[in-house]
């Protein structure tokens, strides 16, 4: 028995979040030993976590009977050092940046407010906004899948509450120019959310704009460059007035004590971060150069492959059968049916990925 009438109307029309596929699922489906599966579908850090973060986790394990500080102040202090912004501009959040988005939408959205969503992009913005009654205004991309700034500005109305910009964008890997973001910030009375989940792998970031604009929010995470996806830590950078309002409604104690201290340790581990970045940029260049299809230039820890005239489902399936998990991008709005996103792996994994794409292409050329 089910009681759908008990659920808010807005939820009925929301599509389910489609996560990357798991090792367990693929191992079972294709009868592959789980230890032989290469998971490159969720943009996780293949280096594993920083050893300093692991140490912090172990040493906090005996203290989990105590609530963490309400505002994760140890972590906020460390993020302040890392970003160069004062603590008045920083909120730590759990679970991950997704939790930050959730709290933010709960703070901002009144039913009927519009959110502008350039596509293709990360799908959770739409879910979090619509769950609170927002109306999604989607903006189609340009010819190279770039965000179309003129079209984004055209989509802005009196009712625009939030514009979501992902830079580098998931799944394209494209970075927005600072001038483009400034243009959009100046074109709306609403807020502009800039998702910098992958910014450590990119040529520039926009955190300095937080000191200059009263309508920018930047989302960040420890899940990608810092290798702590399983701990679910994110943070937001925003003007001080907004932090004050945000803290009124944020879920209390939403970053666990082990996560707070592991985050602090990860920020202190400069060697790990450097390695994570250099390893990723080198592997990324290798994939761009060697995958025998069109590969978009990327500023993130993944690349986007256009397998046309083949279709993504078939090519992704042929890789899955070999135990390589990649992301078929059909669930991303306006991504068409020929795009596959691949996380940068170790050199050995990258070579297997290239070989598998070559095989898929050779089969189709026959």
Ligand X SMILES: *Cc1c(COP(=O)(O)O)cnc(C)c1O
**Beta strand pairing call for 90-93 and 114-118:** unpaired
Min dist CB 20 to ligand X, Å, is 10
The encoded tokens of residue 38 equal 């290469």
Min dist CB 221 to ligand X, Å, is 3
263 scored as a contact of ligand X (CB under 6 A): no
167 scored as a contact of ligand X (CB under 6 A): no
234 scored as a contact of ligand X (CB under 6 A): yes
Min dist CB 280 to ligand X, Å, is 14
The encoded tokens of residue 302 equal 């993944």
* Given 166, 185, 291, 353, the residue binding ligand X (CB under 6 A): 166
- Which of the ranges 92-100, 199-207, 334-342, 344-352 carries the binding residues for ligand X, by CB under 6 A? 92-100
| Run of H or E including 23 | helix 23-30
Tell me if residue 39 falls in helix, strand or coil.
strand
**DSSP output for 263-318:** HHHHHH-HHHHHHHHHHHHHHHHHHHHHSSSEE---SSSEEEEE-TTS-HHHHHHH
* Given 50, 76, 89, 122, the residue binding ligand X (CB under 6 A): 122
Min dist CB 95 to ligand X, Å, is 7
Residue 114 neighbours by CB under 8 Å, 6+ apart:
134, 135, 136, 137, 157, 159, 160, 161
221 scored as a contact of ligand X (CB under 6 A): yes
**Closer residue to ligand X in complex, CB, 115/360:** 115
**Closer residue to ligand X in complex, CB, 254/352:** 254
**Closer residue to ligand X in complex, CB, 194/319:** 194
* Given 102, 113, 195, 328, the residue binding ligand X (CB under 6 A): 195
**Closer residue to ligand X in complex, CB, 180/351:** 180
Mask for 24-53, x = binds ligand X (CB under 6 A): -------------------x----------
Assign 3-state DSSP to the chain and report helix, strand, coil percentages, each to 5: 45, 15, 40
170 scored as a contact of ligand X (CB under 6 A): yes
173 scored as a contact of ligand X (CB under 6 A): no
* Given 197, 315, 339, 360, the residue binding ligand X (CB under 6 A): 197
Task: Specify the residue for token string 């988005």.
Answer: 101
**DSSP output for 77-101:** HHHHHHH---GGGEEEESSHHHHHH
Answer for the pair 314, 281: CB distance below 8 angstroms, yes or no. Answer: no
> What span, in angstroms and rounded, lies between the C-alpha atoms of 134 and 99?
17
For ligand X, the binding residues in 64-83 under the rule CB under 6 A are none
- Which of the ranges 51-59, 95-103, 130-138, 179-187 carries the binding residues for ligand X, by CB under 6 A? 95-103
Answer for the pair 313, 336: CB distance below 8 angstroms, yes or no. Answer: no
Min dist CB 262 to ligand X, Å, is 14
Min dist CB 122 to ligand X, Å, is 4
Min dist CB 16 to ligand X, Å, is 17
**Closer residue to ligand X in complex, CB, 93/160:** 93
Extract the runs of DSSP E, i.e. beta strands, from the chain. 38-39, 90-93, 114-118, 135-139, 160-166, 191-195, 216-221, 234-237, 294-295, 302-306, 324-325, 327-328, 339-343
Residues near ligand X, by CB under 6 A: 43, 96-98, 122, 166, 170, 195, 197, 221, 223, 229, 234
């Amino acid at each position: 028995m089910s009681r759908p009438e008990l659920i808010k109307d807005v939820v009925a029309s929301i599509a389910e979040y489609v996560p990357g596929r798991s090792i367990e699922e693929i191992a079972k489906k294709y009868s592959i030993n789980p230890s032989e599966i290469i998971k490159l579908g969720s943009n996780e850090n293949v280096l594993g976590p920083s050893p300093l973060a692991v140490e912090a986790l172990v040493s906090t394990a005996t203290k989990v009977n105590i609530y963490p500080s309400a505002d994760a102040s140890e972590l906020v202090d460390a993020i302040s050092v890392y970003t160069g912004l004062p603590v008045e501009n920083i909120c730590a959040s759990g679970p991950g940046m997704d939790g930050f988005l959730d709290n933010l939408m709960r703070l901002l959205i009144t039913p009927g407010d519009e959110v502008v969503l350039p596509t293709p992009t990360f799908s959770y913005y739409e879910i979090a906004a619509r769950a609170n009654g927002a109306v999604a205004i989607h903006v189609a991309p340009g010819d190279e899948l770039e965000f179309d700034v003129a079209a984004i500005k055209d989509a802005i109305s009196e009712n625009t509450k939030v514009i979501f910009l992902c830079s580098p964008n998931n799944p394209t890997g494209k970075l927005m120019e600072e001038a483009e973001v400034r243009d959009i910030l100046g074109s709306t009375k609403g807020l502009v959310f800039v998702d910098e989940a992958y910014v450590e792998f990119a040529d520039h970031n926009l955190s300095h704009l937080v000191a200059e604009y009263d309508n920018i929010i930047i989302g960040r995470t420890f899940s990608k460059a810092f290798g702590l996806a399983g701990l679910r830590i994110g943070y937001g950078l925003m003007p001080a007035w907004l932090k004050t309002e945000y803290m009124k409604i944020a879920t209390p104690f939403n970053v666990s004590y082990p996560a707070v201290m592991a985050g602090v340790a990860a920020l202190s581990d400069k060697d790990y971060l450097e390695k994570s970045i250099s390893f990723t940029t080198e592997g990324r260049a290798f994939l761009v150069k060697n995958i025998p299809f069109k590969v978009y230039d990327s500023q993130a820890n993944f690349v986007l492959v256009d397998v046309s005239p083949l279709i993504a489902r078939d090519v992704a399936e042929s890789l899955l059968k070999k135990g390589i998990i990649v992301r078929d991008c059909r669930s991303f709005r306006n991504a068409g049916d020929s795009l596959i996103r691949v996380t940068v792996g170790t050199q050995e994994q990258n070579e297997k990925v290239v070989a598998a794409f070559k095989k898929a292409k050779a089969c189709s050329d026959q």
